[in-house]
Amino acid sequence: MPAFVVRRGDGKTVIAGYPWFLDWGRDTLICARGLLAAGMMEEVKQMLITFGRFEKEGTLPNSLHGNDASNRDTSDAPLWYAIVCEELADGEQASGLPPAVRGSSSAAPGPVRAAGQMPASAYRLPVDPSGRTTADVLRSIAVGYLRGAPNGVRVDPASGLVWSPSPFTWMDTNHPAGTPREGYPIEIQALWIRLLRQLERIGAPPEEEPWGTLAGRATASLQDRFWLEERGWYSDVLLGGAGVPAKDALPSNALRGNHLLPVSLGLVTGQRARRCVEAALRYLVVPGALRSLAPLPITPPLEIRSADGRLLNDPANPYCGRYEGDEDTRRKPAYHNGTAWTWTFPIFCEALVCAWEGSPEAVAAAKSYLGSMAQLLDEGCLGQIPEILDGDAPHAQRGCDAQAWGVTEALRVWKALGGS
């Protein structure tokens, strides 16, 4: 795992995978969760500083090219930044570091100070010479989303949900956009709610209404708008163009692993959580990975068209079980429409435990499923986890030979389950 951590100037970042990839925003921040589990707290702090200095009006770089951080086509990287800050704070607290000095409860704008019992250093890391801290970055992200970020990401005031342009999530192929997901993607809402709750907990001055009030409205909207009772899972995305409020957006019934994020992040419990996990187990799980789309008909249909306008798929049945052939006409349409990903598989295992409230039986089952990733270590690039597998048997390894977030997520969840 240390092979993926590299120096960028005075800070640290993560090479997303070998070969081909450099340092991407979401990849680095998702990987940081596993690095924390490995005890690499100082390296993670450097990553928060590296990306925090680039935060502007709610945006973070989608990728870095030297000091060129102009590519900000991402709605999830800033929200993953917040998750890492929260988990770093939790890790420091568990390590017995002194708690923060209680901050002001004033709603006046200005630097944010950590409050309550949260550890000081996680939120007081200076990210640039001006003295701006990680806590300031978190507040700036939320305020940017509420005001409308320069890249188009914005919050629908009535629902409290986040609207995302196309294609700004981790399913971000382009030319063609195989999974545009323009509208209100499910995992973005889960990450957003966690950010709002974190800001409330650390005593960050609200923009207008209290963070907790906004979080409550967004949570209610997630439950009301996304749940598909007849299917037994959450809609992957409420589809709608710019300016379309969540109440008028069209729920997609496509079953993707993204619907497990609200479960693994603790926002959904009980019967709904269990039905989500059961659906994933039935349609998405393959040995060591999770399909990006279930082999089921979907509505509304998903058209994937080439640059010259040719239809590349069956819109009502977009599942593609093999990632092979020409990149723009075959691999990109398959990349997030059936191809199985290793980085999301540990999240399934985590969601399983959360859905059954940490029962010994659930933990044992999750460890057994997660253990199926071991076979990947002995194939392909020895000792590493590949980026993707074919969704169809025999699930050939594809894509990047050694993928950082596949490795780090496997370690994070394994340790969370009590593995040594």
Q: Cα(420)–Cα(405) distance, rounded to whole angstroms?
A: 19
Residues 280, 246, single domain; the answer is: no
The answer to whether 184 and 243 have CB atoms below 8 angstroms apart is no
User: Are residue 228 and residue 273 in the same domain, yes or no?
Assistant: no
What is this structure's pTM? 0.93
Q: Could you tell me if 393 and 363 lie in one domain?
A: yes
Mean pLDDT across the stretch 234-238?
Answer: 98
- Which of the four pLDDT bands, split at 50, 70 and 90, describes residue 14? confident
Q: Is pLDDT at 139 greater than 80 in this prediction?
A: yes
pLDDT tier, 20 (very low <50, low <70, confident <90, very high otherwise): confident
In a domain, 264, yes or no: no
Is the pLDDT confidence value at 230 over 50?
yes
Domain assignment of residue 36, yes or no: yes
pLDDT at 23 over 80: no
Q: Give the H or E element holding residue 183.
A: strand 183-185
Q: Given a cut of 50, is residue 229 above it in pLDDT?
A: yes
* Tally of domains within the chain: 2
Q: Is 53 part of any domain?
A: yes
Q: Is residue 263 part of a domain?
A: no
**Domain boundary, last residue among 210, 229, 254:** 254
- Is the residue at 152 inside a domain? yes
Query: Within a domain: residue 261?
Result: no
Question: pLDDT class for 383, splitting at 50, 70, 90?
Answer: confident
pLDDT bucket at 110, cuts 50 / 70 / 90: very low
Give the pLDDT of residue 120: 58
Q: What is the mean pLDDT of residues 156-167?
A: 97
Considering the domain architecture, whether residues 183 and 35 belong to the same structural domain is answered as yes
**For the chain, how far is it from start to end, CA to CA, in angstroms?**
16
More confident residue, 341 or 174: 341
Confidence of residue 98 (pLDDT cuts 50, 70, 90): very low
Residues 118 and 166 in one domain: yes
Opening angle at CA 72, ends 68 and 77, nearest 5: 115
Q: How is residue 407 written in tokens? A: 């490795």
Q: Please check whether residues 330 and 420 belong to one and the same domain.
A: yes
Instruction: Examine the domain organization and report whether 86 and 9 are in the same domain.
Output: yes
* Domain with 292 in it: 269-420
Cβ atoms of 151 and 59 within 8 Å: the answer is yes
Q: Do residue 30 and residue 96 come from a single domain? A: yes
Calculate the CA 194 to chain-centre distance. 12
Number of H helices, E strands in the chain: 14, 16
Of 254, 279, 297, at which residue does a domain stop? 254
**In whole angstroms, how far apart are CA 420 and each of 38, 264, 301, 373?**
11, 21, 45, 15
Q: Report the percent of the chain where pLDDT is more than 90.
A: 81
Q: How many residues does the chain have?
A: 420
- The answer to whether residues 197 and 281 belong to one domain is no
Co-location of 372 and 310 in the same domain = yes
Say whether both 126 and 223 belong to one domain: yes
Is 260 within the bounds of a domain? no
Encode pLDDT of 309-328 as tens digits: 999 999 999 999 999 999 99
**Domain-ending residue, one of 254, 280, 298:** 254
Q: Are residues 207 and 123 in contact, defined by beta-carbon separation less than 8 angstroms?
A: no
Residue 365 domain-assigned? yes
User: According to the model, what pLDDT value does residue 96 have?
Assistant: 57
Is 15 in the same domain as 140? yes
Is residue 105 pLDDT above 80, yes or no?
no
